[in-house]
């Protein structure tokens, strides 16, 4: 048996082969995923990988093997975030994996609406609530970007709660509190005191089939499907939000691009006022806001 270690390989060649495999599997921006997985293997940022490839750096055989294994999993459409164990969200790096919905870039705009409403509150210590927090993305964004606020997050899935608890501990926002509780009965001690109620509830209709395999096969069904029209949990959020919010308080609900009118109807029927739907950066309707009278 030879003691000679296997040879290193060109990083740029390894990235090219990885991107070709990912592209053949139907993954858009395959080169981005290849670079991010290489960055995960090497323990550097994506920019560091790009610089190393330009320099002509070599990839140790062991690292090349680890990268190849990750690419094998990614071509099955296992989410990139499950492979790296993290998902970026605004300025946060959240820990994610099986059992929790992976936060999406479009939800950053929903968080921005919540942050703006919380920051503009007349209270010296406004209260924000995130109903169905999942990984904790919206709640932790509110807590860290509006540090004078108090933020409460509710989750009723055991699997998601485990990830949220880890993220709350990892981020360490002292002004944020997480509770494992049914949404209907969340935070009754705050009734009539909340400035902002935010939620990214499940809103996919039960009969719909998500297009992306990463969503269809890997996101937890409880975080996706919301009944026949997809809006069952939105109805709960609207009622609970009305209980929690003080007069002038705001509700922000994420939804699908074709659901804006239906969500506005639900909110107005429950007693909310000034319901308005907002597009995301791709100009798709993404969230609806309303004010408690």
Q: Which residue has the tokens 């390894």?
A: 14
Burial of residue 2 (number of CB atoms within 10 Å: 0-12, 13-18, 19+) = exposed
Q: Does pLDDT of 282 surpass 60?
A: yes
Please, what are the domains in the chain? 9-76 (1.10.8), 86-291 (3.40.50.150)
Q: What is the pLDDT of residues 109-142, one digit of tens each?
A: 999 999 999 999 989 999 999 999 999 999 999 9
Q: Which residue has the tokens 């960055």?
A: 39
Q: What's the pLDDT score for residue 1?
A: 45
Q: Which residues contact 30 (CB under 8 A, 6 or more apart)?
A: 18, 19, 20, 21, 22, 23
Taking a C-beta distance cutoff of 8 angstroms, is the pair 185, 121 a contact? no
Exposure of 66 in the CB half-sphere (CA atoms within 13 A): 16
d(CA 221, CA 250): 28
Taking a C-beta distance cutoff of 8 angstroms, is the pair 13, 68 a contact? no
d(CA 289, CA 105): 19
Using pLDDT thresholds of 50, 70 and 90, give the confidence band for residue 4. low
Q: Which residue has the tokens 């609806």?
A: 288
Q: Tell me how far CA of residue 57 lies from CA of 18, 21, 31, 54, in angstroms.
A: 16, 21, 17, 8
Mean pLDDT in the chain? 95
Average pLDDT over residues 261-284: 96
Tokens of 69: 């294994």
d(CA 288, CA 8): 53
Q: What's the pLDDT score for residue 90?
A: 96
Taking a C-beta distance cutoff of 8 angstroms, is the pair 58, 10 a contact? yes
Q: Does pLDDT of 247 surpass 70?
A: yes
d(CA 49, CA 167): 27
Q: Where are the alpha helices (DSSP H) in 85-189?
A: 106-119, 137-145, 158-171
Tokens of 290: 């309303």
Burial of residue 133 (number of CB atoms within 10 Å: 0-12, 13-18, 19+) = buried
Q: What is the pLDDT of residues 201-216, one digit of tens each?
A: 999 999 998 888 999 9
Average pLDDT over residues 221-237: 95
Average pLDDT over residues 58-85: 95
d(CA 288, CA 263): 7
Mapping DSSP to helix (H, G, I), strand (E, B) and coil, where does residue 220 land?
coil
Q: What's the pLDDT score for residue 5?
A: 58
Q: Does pLDDT of 3 surpass 60?
A: no
């Amino acid at each position: 048996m030879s003691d000679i270690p296997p040879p290193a390989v060109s990083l740029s060649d390894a990235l090219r082969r990885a991107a070709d495999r990912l592209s053949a599997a139907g993954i858009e921006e395959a080169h981005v995923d290849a670079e991010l997985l290489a960055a995960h293997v090497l323990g550097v940022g994506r920019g560091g990988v790009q610089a190393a490839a330009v320099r002509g750096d070599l990839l140790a055989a062991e690292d090349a093997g680890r990268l190849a294994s990750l690419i094998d999993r990614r071509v099955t459409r296992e989410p990139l975030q499950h492979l790296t164990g993290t998902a970026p969200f605004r300025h946060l790096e959240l820990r994610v994996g099986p059992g929790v919905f992976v936060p999406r870039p479009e939800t950053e705009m929903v968080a921005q609406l919540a942050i703006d409403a919380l920051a503009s509150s007349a209270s010296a210590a406004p209260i924000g609530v995130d109903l169905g927090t999942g990984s904790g993305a919206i709640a932790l964004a509110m807590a860290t970007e509006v540090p004078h606020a108090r933020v409460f997050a509710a989750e009723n899935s055991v699997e998601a709660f485990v990830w949220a608890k880890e993220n709350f501990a990892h981020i360490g926002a002292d002004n944020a509190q997480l509770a494992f509780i049914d949404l209907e009965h969340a935070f009754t001690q705050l009734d009539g005191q909340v400035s902002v109620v935010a939620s990214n509830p499940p809103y996919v209709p039960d009969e719909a089939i998500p297009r992306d395999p990463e969503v269809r096969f890997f996101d937890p069904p409880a975080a996706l499907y919301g009944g026949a029209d997809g809006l069952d949990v939105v109805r709960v959020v609207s009622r609970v939000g009305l209980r929690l919010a003080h007069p002038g308080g705001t509700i922000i609900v994420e939804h699908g691009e074709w659901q804006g009118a239906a969500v506005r109807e639900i909110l107005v029927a429950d007693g909310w006022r000034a319901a308005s739907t907002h597009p995301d950066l791709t100009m798709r309707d993404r969230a609806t806001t309303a004010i408690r009278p």
